[in-house]
Amino acid sequence: MKQLKTNPKRLAYLSEYRNKNREKLRSYQKEWAINNRDKERQKSSKYLKNNKDKNALKSQRRRTRIKNIKVYIIIDRDIKRLYSQPCFFCGSRENISIDHIIPISRGGYHGIGNLQTLCKSCNSSKHNKTMAEWIYKSKGKRVANPTNLKAL
């Protein structure tokens, strides 16, 4: 016996039904969300906890769209590769976050070529400076990973 989820006739019927009743389904979903706010909040917070990296990238893409800056698609394989690298500056492997080399607020784009990994403390202190500005302004307050700084 075929399962309903994989039955091609069933899938075609559901697709056709959704297309014909789009407005009806939207109004039902809105009404359900209003009547079940607590469930929606729990569902949303659970998703955010389990998908922090995707949520961060989503918010970065949104900020770039607002500023009309170039946004390039970043595939999951590249995200995993970035998160597997140590902090570009200090070499730490704890609390890694993705940082824009040239900040979006300074005209940088959102693409794999403008991303690097920094630990949360380095990223927080860097704020919206370029790497060169940040290193110059820190004046020895931070210990740099010398192999990475040769690239600057």
Residue ranges covered by each domain of the chain:
38-149
The predicted model gives 52-77 an average pLDDT of: 80
What is the residue-averaged pLDDT of the chain?
Answer: 83
Strand partners, 99: 116
Q: Are residues 75 and 82 in contact, defined by beta-carbon separation less than 8 angstroms?
A: no
Whether 147 has a pLDDT exceeding 70, the answer reads: no
pLDDT of 56 reads: 84
Distance between CA atoms of residues 138 and 147, nearest Å:
18
Note the pTM of the prediction, 2 decimals.
Answer: 0.53
Q: How confident is the model at residue 35 (pLDDT cuts 50, 70, 90)?
A: very high
Strand bridging mode 115-119 / 96-100 = antiparallel
Q: Choose the CATH number for 38-149 among 3.40.50, 3.30.40, 1.10.3470, 2.60.40.
A: 3.30.40
CA 149 – CA 74 distance, rounded (Å): 25
Is the pLDDT at 23 greater than 90? The verdict is yes
Identify which has the larger pLDDT, 140 or 65.
65
Examine the pLDDT at 1 and tell me if it is beyond 50: no
Res 86: pLDDT: 93
Give the pLDDT of residue 54: 84
